[in-house]
Homo-oligomer: A and B are copies of this chain.
Amino acid sequence: MIHLVLGGARSGKSRLALNRVLAAHEAGAGLPQSGEWPRYFVATATILDDEMNARIERHRQERDAGWTLAEVPLDLVGWLREHGQQPGVILVDCLTLWLNNQLYHFPDQDFPALFADLLDALRRSVADVWLVSNEVGLGIIPMGEITRRFVDEAGRLNQTLAAGADTVTLVVAGLPLALKG
């Protein structure tokens, strides 16, 4: 299953995604007993800020602490192909930073092909994948070609993944709006 959680800055999207993972998977959902299946927290940030570190630390300290942290700033497609081959759960936080890293390091690549590869890797994953992504297109776009490019690619990425996801949720002020599933 592919789950996409969209939201604005400081909308509570990451927390909502994590809570949903815990609720779904601790309820069973056809998985092995809690603690017996792998749980990956995939951080795409290259420099983890204090809030991200605090979030990961909270994960670690949870009662049922079996989360593995993976730092994957760029090769998310390859990582998913390798680690998605067995049941479990993968939480990617967040796609927007991954896109930003891709635009910075490989601005001239074929982005539609990249997004199609990502969706293909997600579809082949046996593990459930929860994707957190920013919605950035609902305001005025500040001047500048790079910003415009980022908004365009972020919109296309979210559309591509939303079309292929089993559930899509928009988070506003920490509350969910179901867009799909």
Q: Which residues of chain B are near A37, meaning CB under 8 Å?
A: none
A139's nearest neighbour on chain B, judged by CB, is B139
B12, B158, B174: the one contacting A173 at CB < 8 Å is: B158
CA–CA, A7 and B173, complex, Å = 11
Q: Does A29 have its Cβ within 8 Å of any Cβ on chain B?
A: no
Q: Does A54 have its Cβ within 8 Å of any Cβ on chain B?
A: no
Q: Tell me whether chain A's interface is mostly helix, strand or loop, or mixed.
A: mixed
**Total interface residues on A, using CB and 8 Å?**
38
A residues 138-156 with Cβ under 8 Å of B?
138-143, 147, 150-152, 154-156
Q: Which residues of chain B are near A6, meaning CB under 8 Å?
A: 172-173
Task: Evaluate contact between A173 and B142: CB separation under 8 angstroms.
Answer: no
The 8 A CB mask of A1-18 against B (1 = contact, 0 = none) is: 000101111111000000
Given the contacts A138-B136, A140-B141, A175-B179, A9 and B152 also touching, CB distance less than 8 Å: yes
A161 CB → nearest B CB, Å = 8
B10, B139, B156, B161: the one contacting A140 at CB < 8 Å is: B139
Given the contacts A11-B159, A138-B138, A177 and B177 also touching, CB distance less than 8 Å: yes
CA–CA, A180 and B174, complex, Å = 11
Given the contacts A140-B141, A140-B151, A135 and B10 also touching, CB distance less than 8 Å: no
Supply 18 further A-B pairs (C-beta < 8 A) apart from A10-B154, A12-B159, A136-B139. Answer: A7-B137, A8-B135, A8-B136, A8-B155, A9-B137, A10-B156, A11-B159, A135-B138, A137-B139, A138-B139, A139-B139, A139-B140, A142-B142, A161-B173, A162-B175, A163-B174, A175-B179, A175-B180
